Amino acid sequence: MQTKRLQRGAVILALAMLILACAVPIPTTEPLTVIDPVNQVETVGLDGAERAEVRLRMLSDTLNVHAAEDVGLLRANFHYNVAEWEPTIKQETEEQRTRVRINQGLGSQIQLGGSDEYINTWDVGLRRNVPIDLGVDMGAGDVQMALGGLSLTRLALTTGGADLSLSFDAHNPETMSTLRITAGTGKCIASDLGNANFDRLNITGGAGSMDLDFGGTWQRSALADIKAGAGRITLRVPAGLGVRVTFASTPINTTDITGFTEQDDNVYVNAAYGQSPLTLTINLKTGVGALTLISQ
């Protein structure tokens, strides 16, 4: 009974995040206007600024974000076949910071379910070597973010029912104050989080699974707060980084711990803890689910 309540709560949370994040209207049964596929390419420059704030808000279907060469600030390729989904771009520049908002158009209705008839794909390339505060709100679909080498000062990701794949295959030259992920019912996979160069990581999950790899080149100690509902959680940390994990007193169906020893009640540390000059402190709170914790 408790498991079902938690799962229902997670689904309700995911739907609420979808509505709030994407500011969608109440769905209707009105048909969407299907048109011939459009390939729309847009470029945005720095407008004389030295820093940028970029916000991407998309209802569905596929979003790709990555580093790009030879762009002012960003280059976006929008591929869609629904007239109401034509994206809008707004830019405001004040002093040395430019703010860019890209929103998916909605019209007066949204689809009530997935359909192969509809096409909506965004491919967004961001310029390297420019400090960027990046935010993404995604409803349902698939999000692929290859952010290695970008100069990110903050990163905030919100997904409703979307699957998220986040990777940092190269070091972030900027210090990222906060990396925040709010996930719903989809999968969340993150790799080489050490390269993100964050001070604080905040992850809130619903009923979806999470697979978090903290590999990469660590240059600072950091704090991670992870809260999950009813999904499966896998955490992988490098053996050479000192790691301390504190579990909240919440039920876990299955726990598999490798490379850690119990230091105190609900507190686990790996062999490098207290020996390594850097420490990752993880506060973990889960509902009904399965946990795998690995240091290797």
> In angstroms, rounded to a whole number, what is the distance separating the alpha carbons of residues 189 and 187?
7
Give the pair of three-digit tokens for residue 99. 């703010």
Split into its structural domains, the chain has a count of 1
Cα–Cα–Cα angle for 154, 242, 205, nearest 5°?
A: 45
Question: What is the per-residue pLDDT for 25?
Answer: 44
Question: What is the per-residue pLDDT for 23?
Answer: 42
Question: What is the per-residue pLDDT for 248?
Answer: 82
User: Chain-wide mean pLDDT for the chain?
Assistant: 87
8, pLDDT greater than 50: no
Write the pLDDT tens digit of every residue in 177-223.
999 999 988 999 999 999 999 999 999 988 889 999 999 999 999 99
pLDDT band at 18 (very low <50, low <70, confident <90, very high): very low
- Interacting residues of 94 by C-beta distance below 8 A, sequence separation 6+: none
Across residues 138-147, what is the average pLDDT? 95
Which region among 4-8, 35-39, 54-58, 132-136 has the lowest average model confidence (pLDDT)? 4-8
Write the pLDDT tens digit of every residue in 68-91.
999 999 999 999 999 999 999 999
Which region among 44-58, 59-73, 89-103, 242-256 has the lowest average model confidence (pLDDT)? 242-256
What is the residue range of 22's domain?
2-295
Contact 57, 102 (CB under 8 A): yes
Residue 182 vs residues 14, 138, 162: alpha-carbon distances, Å: 9, 10, 11
Contact 34, 81 (CB under 8 A): yes
